[in-house]
Amino acid sequence: MTHEPEVEQTQTARRRALTPAFAVLLRVVAAAFCCWVLAMPASRAQNSGGFPGFLQSLFGQSAKTQAAPEPNESLRIRAHKVRKKEQDVGSRKKGQDFVSTTATRAPGSPGGEPVKPTFFVSVLGDSLGILAAQGLVDAFGDKPEISIADQARDLSGLARDDYYDWSKAARDMVAAKTQIDLVVIMIGINDLQPLKDGGETLDPLSDGWRAIYAQRVENLVTPFRDAHIPVLWVGLPPMLDDRFNSQVIALNAIDREHAEMAGAKYVDVWDAFADQSGQYAAFGPDVDGQNSKLRSGPNGIYFTKAGSRKLAHFLEADIRKAFDRTRPPGDIASLPPDIEQEADDINAQIRREMGAEKSQATGLSTTPKPSAGPILSLTAQPVSAHGELIEALGAAAGAGEQGRVLRLGGAPAPQPGRADDFTWTRTQ
């Protein structure tokens, strides 16, 4: 019992002696670890993470400030092969053949080449001729094969050949051999003025004035007629001023007579721009049947955009006919789509095929089918195949069972097994 305090004092003294030694040992181990970390290569410190990265950030070092290590030989060879392969692929792409879409798509379709015009229309005249050309451009906007050339001149006419000589201009156009397939002429609103013949001045619409003016009308048309170029001479529309309107009526009569005498076709548009009494009307139905303003300008002489388009409507049919005559026979690929006509062609082909099968079954010879069916007019009156009256053909065909059912409304005879067969079959 008396020795226990001594033992405790001895153990306490030993612990106090070991504590400083253990602390010194820990310091030595920590210092050695720090020296090992600092001596580690930069690449290992960057890739290992943890303490090296922490110590680097702690002491201000980062991967951005350190130089990248030199790759070994195998890595350099591998990188060189990758770059070589990329260069080869790039060179092959640059040298690859490329076919443009314009070479594979039809002209006029999206991505294809533009359609080149093949039919050329020249419009001559004064300011109304300019507006007529604008209307024709709108009318044939969906027909790029037809080119409209505006060659009209404002303030010109046939009365003042000292300002612009239209007869000479017509001769020069033909002599230049410029491709012209059709000519449209609309002129006259500047011509109701005195006309000079040598030293004499002739009043508008006097006998001498009429004779000279009529000759100039023929002189304008004759060069085109001799060159076999069709001419459409467009008459003037009604005017708002009563006096000017009566003069235009007289001028139209001269133009019609002598233009047709020289070989042109006269196109009368008076009623299209007049009211029910034949007088001037600023408003009227446009090409879509809607009531629109058609005339404008001082005294309502000129046309609006809707009026120009309506004026062109009366020239479209003749221009399209002339255009169709210039195409080779059998060229129907460029015709505008017509659902009704396509349906008629399909039905005709079905009838031809049914007729061919029947004739082959009876041993008769068949004629070869044409490559395309006939082009029929949508405005012509319907007739039968051989000209007989349709009613007469229907009466002849109505004598049988079909006529009784279709014409008289009788019920068809029931067929065994059909839904309308209500006969009762007895069972034995």
| 3-state SS, one letter per residue, for 155-197 | CCCCCCCCCCCHHHHHHHHHHCCCCCCEEEEECCCCCCCCEEE
pLDDT at 421: 77
* Residue 172: pLDDT over 90: yes
Q: Is residue 234 part of a domain?
A: yes
| Degrees to nearest 5, angle at CA 366 with 362 and 369 | 140
- Sorted by sequence, the CB contacts under 8 Å of residue 71 that are 6+ apart come out as 79
Task: Mark residue 419 as left, alpha or beta (left: phi above 0; alpha: psi -120 to 50; beta: remaining).
Answer: alpha
Q: How far apart are CA 209 and CA 195, in angstroms?
A: 7
Token pair 């004629």 is at which residue?
A: 367
Q: Is residue 94 part of a domain?
A: no
Query: Residues 262-312: pLDDT tens digits?
Result: 999 999 999 999 999 999 999 999 999 999 999 998 889 999 999 999 999
- Residues above pLDDT 70, as percent of the chain: 59
* Residue 56: pLDDT over 90: no
Q: Is residue 339 part of a domain?
A: no
Q: Is residue 114 part of a domain?
A: no
Contact 214, 254 (CB under 8 A): yes
* Beta strands 195-197 and 200-202, pairing class: antiparallel
Q: Buried b / exposed e across 362-395, counting CB within 10 Å, b at 16+?
A: eeeeeeeeeeebeeeeeeeeeeeeeeeeeeeeee
CB-CB neighbours of 321 under 10 Å = 11
Q: What mean pLDDT value characterizes the chain?
A: 77
Q: Is residue 206 part of a domain?
A: yes
Q: Is residue 39 part of a domain?
A: no
Domain of residue 312 covers 119-326
Instruction: Give CA torsion, residues 106, 109, 110, 116, to 10 deg.
Output: 90
Domain count, the chain: 1
pTM > 0.75: no
pLDDT at 338: 56
* Residue 116: pLDDT over 70: yes
What is the CATH number for 240? 3.40.50.1110
- Closest-CA residue to 153 (of 178, 116, 186): 186
Contact 162, 100 (CB under 8 A): no
What are the C-alpha distances in Å from 213 to residues 134, 255, 345? 27, 9, 52
- Check residues 375 and 388 and name the one with the higher pLDDT: 375
- Closest-CA residue to 158 (of 219, 218, 216): 216
Q: How far apart are CA 230 and CA 120, in angstroms?
A: 12
pLDDT at 41: 53
Q: Is residue 399 part of a domain?
A: no
- Check residues 133 and 397 and name the one with the higher pLDDT: 133
Q: Is residue 148 part of a domain?
A: yes
